[in-house]
Amino acid sequence: MPNSAFNAGVMAVLPLVPGIIPFGLIAGIAPVDAGLGGEVAIAMSLLIFAGAAQLAAVQLLAEGAMPLVVIVTALVINLRFVMYSASLAPHFRYLPSHHRWPLAYLMTDQAYEVSITHFWRQESTQRAQKHWFFLGTALGMWLPWQLATIAGVLLGAGIPAGWGLDFAIPLTFMALLVPALKARPGVVAALTAGTVATLAAPLPFNLSLILAALTGVVAGLMTELHQQRHSGAFHE
């Protein structure tokens, strides 16, 4: 039943919702503090719907960066969604394009991780139920994010700095990252990207994020290729 699959998706992602609320509040507060206005903050959450890219774009706009730099930075940060899409494609290839596009818009790190893990563990899940499960996880993140952004715009600077909302952002991504580190290529990629991001933090225009993402992907791919060669040589 579509309803049961959808509800299962909502319930599966529900434990992660508290982690994105501080993130959404910051996404609402940051544009207002940068002088961009609450309307821009809400529009970014509705149209872009990508927390890390939104905050990076706001920071760059506040610093007077060129529009091209802002766009390229946001695109690079969101490149991971290309990999997510490739991973989910076999599960949704039966859907017509006018159904896949809305699912692509709603994709988040949380919705992807929860859904793909469910598909791996529940291999017997009926094909027609998978997109309903994903839709449940995706809308389960979309609605709280939009409400949190609006709350951030309305509350603005009224939220005490002592609440430490900034600290909730890395915790949210760590909650997704750690369970996913099951194979050596993923571990190598994560360690490499984290090290490069830390060392390159002084670079302007968030270039450290771009450099970290690229080096992490390369390190992971090289590790996987090395494993494949070693496995092939061993079997020979």
Mean pLDDT for all residues in the chain: 80
Residue 176 pLDDT level (bands cut at 50, 70, 90): low
What is the distance between the alpha carbons of residues 131 and 134, in angstroms, rounded to a whole number? 5
N- to C-terminal Cα separation, the chain: 48
Tokens found for residue 60: 């760059």
Look up the pTM and report it. Answer: 0.72
- Which of 166, 200, 223 lies at the terminal end of a domain, its last residue? 166
**For residue 48, pLDDT beyond 50:** yes
Residues 32 and 142 reside in one and the same domain = yes
CB 163 within 8 A of CB 189: no
| pLDDT attached to residue 136 | 94
Residue 171 forms part of a structural domain: no
Count the domains in the chain. Answer: 2
What is the distance between the alpha carbons of residues 91 and 78, in angstroms, rounded to a whole number? 21
**Domain housing 229:** 181-236
Q: What are 82-97's pLDDT values in tens digits?
A: 878 888 888 888 888 8
Residues 148 and 55 reside in one and the same domain = yes
Residue type, position 107, single letter: M
The continuous run of DSSP H or E covering 47 comes out as helix 38-47
Residue 54 pLDDT level (bands cut at 50, 70, 90): confident
> Residue 13's closest CA among 120, 155, 111, 104?
111
Q: Which residue has the tokens 């360690």?
A: 191
Q: Secondary structure of 116-137 in the HEC alphabet? A: HHHHHHCCCCCHHHHHHHHHHH
Residues 33 and 68 reside in one and the same domain = yes
Residues 11 and 112 reside in one and the same domain = yes
| pLDDT attached to residue 235 | 47
| pLDDT attached to residue 35 | 82
pLDDT, greater one: 137 or 233? 137
Residue 94 forms part of a structural domain: yes
Average pLDDT of the segment spanning 159-180? 59
Average pLDDT of the segment spanning 131-144? 94
CB 73 within 8 A of CB 209: yes
Look at 68-77, 90-99, 136-145 and tell me which has the smallest mean pLDDT: 68-77
| pLDDT attached to residue 234 | 44
Residues 44 and 96 reside in one and the same domain = yes
Q: Which residue has the tokens 């989910």?
A: 88
